[in-house]
Structure 1
Amino acid sequence: MNNKLPSFIILLVIILGIGSQALFIVHQTEQAIILQLGEPKDRIYKAGLHFKIPFIDSVVRFDARILDYDARPAEALTSDLKTIVLDNYARWHIINPLQFYRTVRTIPNAQTRLDAVVYSQMRAHVGRCTLTEVVSSERTNIMDSVTKQASTQMREFGIEVVDARIKRTDLPPENQRAIYDRMRAERERQARQYRSEGTEEATKVRSKADKERALILAEAKKKAQIIQGEGDAEAAKIFANAYTKSPDFFEFQRSLEAMKLSFENNTKMIVTTDNPLFKHIK
């Protein structure tokens, strides 16, 4: 009995070892194929418990989820000969692990192939549109068409492209500087035009104001001269009427005014009594 126990344990260990090699589990996020002596068998294993031949078959697992690939920014030429930098990404998944293994084998190799296909499609579609269309009206159509065409080309590798998108479009640094210089020149031209139009308008306003000022001053001067003339005439009329009423008084007043003007500033004068100035004093 004691001699049979070690043999039983050894046999049990061997059975368990062989069983562990014969069984394998595929998780929900995976899909797998079996290589028999290095050659893939024509069967795809989904999630669950599966059997294989121990020490002969080997399991190769692939991710069944949707994978992301972020491509490096690259330049493309639009139909109006504008160079832009495209920053795009793609979402894809493995739909045929057998075909995938036979063609590209690994995910890095698949991403390299995907990068070439998506970029070539992006460049071809962008080349049929202008810069304005790429960044606005045709952007969605370009991405949908690139997704469809890239997915068609990648099916031979067991891959389906779910989505290909343009994250952003930039201009190369030299183009940005050139565009900035053109924009600045255009703004300076507009500024000069506005200043010229403003100067012209200001000259018109000043000329009109000067003309109106001259007309107003001339009219005011005319009215002032008329009023002054009328006042002088009225004063002369009043003076004449007053003079006719009392000629002696006005003659006396005029002689006093003449004397006042003659003897200003300590003026000394020698006159005789028969001078007309002393007529009324006598």
Structure 2
Amino acid sequence: MRAQYLIPVAVVLGGLALSSFYVVDEREKALVLQFGEVTTVRTDPGLGFKVPLIQTVAKYDDRILSINTQPLEVTPLDDRRLVVDAFARWRIADTVRFREAVGTGGEAFAKSRLDGILNNAIREVMGSVPSTAVLSDDRTALMNQIRDQAKREAASLGVDVIDVRLTRTDLPTQNLAATYARMRAEREREAADERARGGEAAQRVRAAADRTVIELTSAARRQAEIIRGEAEAEANGIYAEAYGRDQSFFAFTRALQFYSDSLKPGSTSLVTNPSSLYFDYGHFVQSLGESGAPVVAAQ
């Protein structure tokens, strides 16, 4: 009879012996609890011992953890609403305090508490600055303020907030259309100003160019008239010298000039007798030499 009880007893004792040992991973921290009270804190990895059935072990992640906040509407100083997303890096700094704060809820309960802490910190910090500071490229100072405030509030949970980053800062959907319209109007006004300034500058350049053209043209015409007058004077001098040397040549050129002036195509009608002196060059020259012009009947 005793032999048949030895095996179950041995199994129970073996189970108790095995349950009295626990292993702490290098990525974990462990608390040994006796009736809910912390008796031992294990931060080093390795094998540990606990009293079976009386003591239990609670393990927590010792790595840096992350949490992402839900989109949150905030109102900066200029009453321009913004939608903000953020994420934080945190870790369990004080295991005993963490256990006391979250109880058996563990890391899931701690994340819900941290989410509220981060939201409050974001609202308070963002509400103390204008929207231009939030929408600027350099938001490091704001993120540091949010981190420091969240760190102070999370210390009661035994949690250390390492970093907070803003991932998105946008306008609410219902405000985007009005904002884009205002931005478009501002850009169109700037474009109109630029076009007006450009048109004014172009008008000045055009006026200067026109004035320069007129001045150059006037100077060129004046120079051309001077050259033409000098040339005509020189030509008249040459003609006068030539006419003075030979009277018959002068009469001949005057006769040719008379014929050319009196017989212009399409504009001259001449009625005369065939025996008129008009067709007798000798008498024409003689009469031209005497009176300066032949006697003809022209119409």
TM-score of the aligned structures, taking structure 2 as reference length: 0.75
Greater Cα shift, 94-103 or 180-189: 94-103
Read off the aligned partner of 1:27 and give its amino acid letter. D
Q: Deviations over 1:18-41 (max 9, x none)?
A: 3234444443313124252xxx12
Read off the aligned partner of 1:121 and give its amino acid letter. A
Alignment of 1:243-258 (within 5 A): 243-255=243-255, 258=258
On the 8 A contact 1:33/1:98 being kept in 2, the answer is no
Read off the aligned partner of 2:283 and give its amino acid letter. K
Greater Cα shift, 81-90 or 228-237: 228-237
> CA 1:163–1:264 in 2, change beyond 3 Å: closer, same or farther?
closer
Q: Which sections of structure 2, spanning at least 5 residues, go unmatched? A: 287-299
On the 8 A contact 2:32/2:50 being kept in 1, the answer is no
1:145 aligns with 2:145: yes
Q: Distance in 1 between matches of 2:117 and 2:199?
A: 60
On the 8 A contact 1:143/1:165 being kept in 2, the answer is yes
Q: Distance in 1 between matches of 2:89 and 2:284?
A: 131
SS of 2:87's partner is strand
Aligned to 2:9: 11
Deviation of 1:120 after TM superposition, in Å, equals: 0.6
1:31 aligns with 2:30: yes
Deviation of 1:279 after TM superposition, in Å, equals: 1.8
> CA 1:207–1:152 in 2, change beyond 3 Å: closer, same or farther?
closer
Deviation of 1:114 after TM superposition, in Å, equals: 0.8
Deviation of 1:115 after TM superposition, in Å, equals: 0.8
Q: Which sections of structure 1, spanning at least 5 residues, go unmatched? A: none
Alignment of 1:75-114 (within 5 A): 75-105=73-103, 106=105, 107-114=107-114
On the 8 A contact 1:31/1:64 being kept in 2, the answer is no
1:128 aligns with 2:131: no
> CA 1:263–1:153 in 2, change beyond 3 Å: closer, same or farther?
closer
Read off the aligned partner of 1:110 and give its amino acid letter. A
Deviation of 1:175 after TM superposition, in Å, equals: 4.0
> CA 1:196–1:6 in 2, change beyond 3 Å: closer, same or farther?
same
Q: Deviations over 1:42-82 (max 9, x none)?
A: 3234153222242x444433333332212112122223333
> CA 1:52–1:27 in 2, change beyond 3 Å: closer, same or farther?
farther
> CA 1:63–1:274 in 2, change beyond 3 Å: closer, same or farther?
closer
SS of 2:38's partner is coil
Aligned to 2:294: none
Q: Distance in 1 between matches of 2:263 and 2:9?
A: 164
Aligned to 1:270: 273
Calculate the aligned-residue CA RMSD, in Å.
3.4
Deviation of 1:137 after TM superposition, in Å, equals: 8.2
Alignment of 1:34-73 (within 5 A): 34-36=33-35, 40-46=36-42, 47=45, 48-54=47-53, 56-73=54-71
On the 8 A contact 1:252/1:280 being kept in 2, the answer is no
On the 8 A contact 1:33/1:97 being kept in 2, the answer is no
SS of 2:89's partner is strand
Deviation of 1:117 after TM superposition, in Å, equals: 0.9
Q: Distance in 2 between matches of 1:262 and 1:139?
A: 99
> CA 1:237–1:128 in 2, change beyond 3 Å: closer, same or farther?
same
**Paired residues, number:** 276
Aligned residues: percent identity?
30
